[in-house]
Chains A and B, each alone.
Chain A
Amino acid sequence: MRRVLFSLVPIVTLSMLTLGLCVGPADAQTIKIGNLVDLTGPTSDQGKDIAQGRNDATQYINEKGGVNGRKLELVSVEYGFQPPRAVAAYKKFVQDDKVLLVLGYGTPDTEALRPFITKDKVPYISGSYSGHLTDPKQTPYNFPGGIDYTSQIRIFLNWVKEGWKDTSRKPKVAFIFADNAYGRAPIESGRAYAKEIGVDLVDEEVIPTTLTDATSQLLTMKTKDPDFAYVNTNTQWVPVVLKDSLKLGLRTKYVINNYGIDERTPGLAREAAEGVYGIQDVAYWGENVPGMKTLMEWHQKHHPNDTHASPYMRGWLWTLMAAEAIKRAGPNPTGEGVKNALESLREWDTWGITPPFTYTNEDHRPTNRARFVLIKDGKVTFVREVSVERDMKWIGK
């Protein structure tokens, strides 16, 4: 019995290996795009929808004839949000698969790969909207796929200042952020901007990556009694923070960044989500924008039993953007050509999923507009359009 089982092991391994090596040579006409996804790590709740969005969008584009007559092929690697695996995957993308561009994902790995992609001239559209990726002088090949975190924190601070009517004192704010590159990305700029416009930053709370409960952080924040708090953490921590805050009776009003709040937040945080504001970068499921019908059709066709949420839109958006850039780069696109093509996008219509995108060769911030939303009666409701000037002072920060 032992021997039988034992002989099975090498047979299974060998067959898997041969299966793997038997991947036929790809159609020489396909354009390869590197694709990093997180399906098992801490952001996998978003990552799964993003991956589905990217796959579906690629299929859609290929069904419509591809780009300049060539089909797109996603070379996907699941990296569990572990930067070392992302670095290894990137090496494989560039050296073995010879991808034209990479659809990246998280902030730690995107920031880590900056010197590599600049050297290799591989355009990198990332799910990370870190401000550190927006300066073409430093990172010419990085293109954040949405309004950057620094602009978002500026929007928050502006909103606080504008709505503040009490002339006896300055408004007090706090930052709550995750203890990783993503969480920390906009904090320094946030501090500087708060000082600049006259908002009092009274407290900063760090949420570690293995969060068990936020009570002590929130209790500390309560002693400083901020009027508003900006939350820049991983999506899963947001309901915990909100619930603990409700439980402890804090009167602070919360504004959550684009990744922290979406259609699912009211369901997860329930009463604690009432009265919570957020910044929305991409259309929510079912919103009345031109592209929504197509996306919803595709989602129903391929994943009828899955969650319907905004990360799916993001996946579509970035893939469509990549396809557009490759199309503009002409019949024999190179990495540099695609980069230039991306920088030629001016008020490019994203099927209404986001405000139109503009990248220039001086500014890789795709947009400076977003929406302010409020959770009321268990639903995310639209408050107003917000924007912040494309101040070059904040580029790359």
Chain B
Amino acid sequence: MTEQVVFLLQLIIAGVAVGAVYSLMALGFVLIYKASTVVNFGPGELVLFGAYVAWATILSMKLPLTVALPLTLVVAILLGLVIERGVLRPLIGEPIISVIMVTFGFASVVRGVLNMSWGSDTRPFPALFANEPFRLGPIPISPVHLWSFVTVMLLLFAFSLFFKFSLLGTAMRATADNQQVAQSLGVSVKGIFALSWCIATVVSALGGIILGSVRGGVDFSLADYGLKVFPVVILGGLDSVAGVLVGGVLIGVLENLSGGYLDPIFGGGVKEVAPFVVLVLILMIRPYGLFGRVDVERV
């Protein structure tokens, strides 16, 4: 294969791997939105939370992996419950701008608490996967990327099945559609909200663990990944689980391609801004995202 083609393929594969992680974070966002039409503007901090708790249990408390990982997820569930009960329930029915600001608010609190508890040093993250890349032809693929992609695919598959076929999943979709009718049919709306937040925090925590292993260290810059969620969900649709995977991978690939080809021309930084340019373009053509549901308005 020529060098140019190898370069392109490497960029694409790296993009797919990174994109899988974006999809994971976006999944949390979409779940919350799907169930309660609440927009979480602090997805980065949830990821950060997961990564730090994982670090703390594995390295600081030196618990074995089989205990540490489930423990992290349990803590994430607790966080989800706290957020839903303490912060979001009082705000049911308030205008969207208030809800957005509240999510900024608790993102800030989470960040501050993490800083206070564990400080902001870069902490080394345990290598959960082997580091030796194996080769697909001339292209090296790191096992971490492969495993994260597989994990994300599995989770997404599981969730689409969940939403489509299980009773609880259907109940969540019903709540998102029309809370009052769902309630009248016996769905516990409060329980659904709590469940959606807990799933979201757990999924973000997993994202944090994966990101931590990919980068080898946890520090506060992990939260910056959070903002990438928005181009992903706009591309894929705010309430589509399948769309999340497509969106995530596309954004990951797009980033890397613009990084590889456009960065040298423009002197850097294009990689970070390209997803947002795409976001604006998409919104202009399809205001509800590529797979999103059109909101019917009643006057």
A and B touch in the complex (CB under 8 A): yes
Q: How many residues of A contact B (CB 8 A)?
A: 39
Residue of A nearest to B262 (CB): A216
Tell which of B133, B268, B272 touches A210, judged by Cβ atoms closer than 8 Å: B272
Chain A residues 207 to 224 lying within 8 A of chain B, measured CB to CB, are 207-208, 210-213, 215-217, 219-220, 222-223
The answer to whether B263 and A270 have CB atoms under 8 Å apart is no
The answer to whether B219 and A267 have CB atoms under 8 Å apart is no
The answer to whether A247 and B268 have CB atoms under 8 Å apart is no
B115 within 8 Å of A (CB atoms)? yes
The tally of CB-CB contacts under 8 A between chains A and B is 112
The answer to whether A210 and B224 have CB atoms under 8 Å apart is yes
| Bound CA–CA A287/B135 (angstroms) | 42
B106 within 8 Å of A (CB atoms)? no
Residue of A nearest to B138 (CB): A249
The answer to whether A212 and B263 have CB atoms under 8 Å apart is no
Q: Chain A, 66-107, contact with B by CB distance < 8 Å: what is the 0/1 string? A: 000000000000000000000000000000000000000000
The answer to whether B216 and A216 have CB atoms under 8 Å apart is no
The answer to whether B269 and A206 have CB atoms under 8 Å apart is yes
Residues of A within 8 A of B124 (CB): 264, 267-268
Residues of B within 8 A of A211 (CB): 221
Stretch in contact with the other chain, from A39-47, A123-131, A140-148, A367-375: A39-47
Residues of A within 8 A of B122 (CB): 45, 235-236, 239, 264, 268
| Nearest Cβ on chain A to B276's Cβ, whole angstroms | 12
Residues of B within 8 A of A191 (CB): none
Q: Chain A, 188-229, contact with B by CB distance < 8 Å: what is the 0/1 string? A: 000000000000000001111011110111011011000000
The answer to whether B268 and A48 have CB atoms under 8 Å apart is no
B7 within 8 Å of A (CB atoms)? yes
The answer to whether A243 and B216 have CB atoms under 8 Å apart is yes
The answer to whether B127 and A236 have CB atoms under 8 Å apart is no
Q: Chain B, 220-237, contact with A by CB distance < 8 Å: what is the 0/1 string? A: 110011001000000000
Tell which of B221, B225, B271 touches A42, judged by Cβ atoms closer than 8 Å: B221
B240 within 8 Å of A (CB atoms)? no
Residue of B nearest to A243 (CB): B216
| Nearest Cβ on chain B to A77's Cβ, whole angstroms | 17
Residues of B within 8 A of A269 (CB): 216
The answer to whether B224 and A307 have CB atoms under 8 Å apart is no
B179 within 8 Å of A (CB atoms)? no
The answer to whether A206 and B120 have CB atoms under 8 Å apart is no
A179 within 8 Å of B (CB atoms)? yes
B267 within 8 Å of A (CB atoms)? yes
Contact status of A236 and B140, CB under 8 A, knowing A179-B268, A208-B272, A212-B224: no
| Bound CA–CA A45/B220 (angstroms) | 10
B121, B219, B258, B263 — most chain A CB neighbours (10 Å): B121
The answer to whether A208 and B268 have CB atoms under 8 Å apart is yes
Residues of A within 8 A of B225 (CB): 212
The answer to whether B219 and A271 have CB atoms under 8 Å apart is no
The answer to whether A239 and B259 have CB atoms under 8 Å apart is no
B94 within 8 Å of A (CB atoms)? no
Residue of A nearest to B258 (CB): A216
Residues of A within 8 A of B131 (CB): 243, 246-247, 270-271
Chain B residues 229 to 277 lying within 8 A of chain A, measured CB to CB, are 255-260, 263-264, 267-269, 271-272
B115, B122, B267, B269 — most chain A CB neighbours (10 Å): B122
Residues of A within 8 A of B18 (CB): 212-213, 215
Chain B residues 15 to 32 lying within 8 A of chain A, measured CB to CB, are 18
Contact status of A220 and B264, CB under 8 A, knowing A40-B115, A208-B271, A270-B216: yes
| Bound CA–CA A106/B142 (angstroms) | 35
The answer to whether B260 and A216 have CB atoms under 8 Å apart is yes
A248 within 8 Å of B (CB atoms)? yes
Tell which of B119, B257, B263 touches A217, judged by Cβ atoms closer than 8 Å: B263
| Nearest Cβ on chain B to A392's Cβ, whole angstroms | 31
Residues of A within 8 A of B120 (CB): 39-40, 44-45, 48
Residues of B within 8 A of A39 (CB): 115, 120
The answer to whether B121 and A217 have CB atoms under 8 Å apart is no
Chain A residues 251 to 308 lying within 8 A of chain B, measured CB to CB, are 264, 267-272, 307
Residues of A within 8 A of B220 (CB): 42, 44
| Nearest Cβ on chain B to A194's Cβ, whole angstroms | 18
The answer to whether A270 and B127 have CB atoms under 8 Å apart is yes
Residues of A within 8 A of B217 (CB): 236, 239-240, 268
| Bound CA–CA A39/B259 (angstroms) | 31
B164 within 8 Å of A (CB atoms)? no
Residues of A within 8 A of B267 (CB): 206
| Nearest Cβ on chain A to B269's Cβ, whole angstroms | 5
| Bound CA–CA A364/B256 (angstroms) | 42
The answer to whether A215 and B11 have CB atoms under 8 Å apart is yes
Residues of B within 8 A of A210 (CB): 221, 224, 272
Residue of B nearest to A306 (CB): B119
Residue of B nearest to A269 (CB): B216
| Nearest Cβ on chain B to A17's Cβ, whole angstroms | 21
| Nearest Cβ on chain A to B45's Cβ, whole angstroms | 14
Residues of B within 8 A of A267 (CB): 124
Residue of B nearest to A47 (CB): B120
Residue of A nearest to B112 (CB): A40
Beyond A44-B220, A216-B263, 9 additional pairs, beta carbon < 8 A: A208-B268, A210-B224, A215-B11, A216-B271, A217-B259, A219-B14, A223-B3, A239-B215, A240-B217
17 contacts between A and B (CB under 8 A): A40-B115, A40-B120, A44-B220, A179-B268, A207-B268, A208-B271, A210-B224, A216-B11, A216-B263, A219-B14, A220-B260, A243-B215, A246-B131, A248-B10, A268-B124, A270-B131, A272-B216
What are the 10 tightest A-B residue pairs by CB atom distance, in nearest-first order? A206-B268, A216-B259, A44-B120, A210-B224, A215-B14, A45-B121, A216-B260, A216-B256, A247-B142, A45-B122
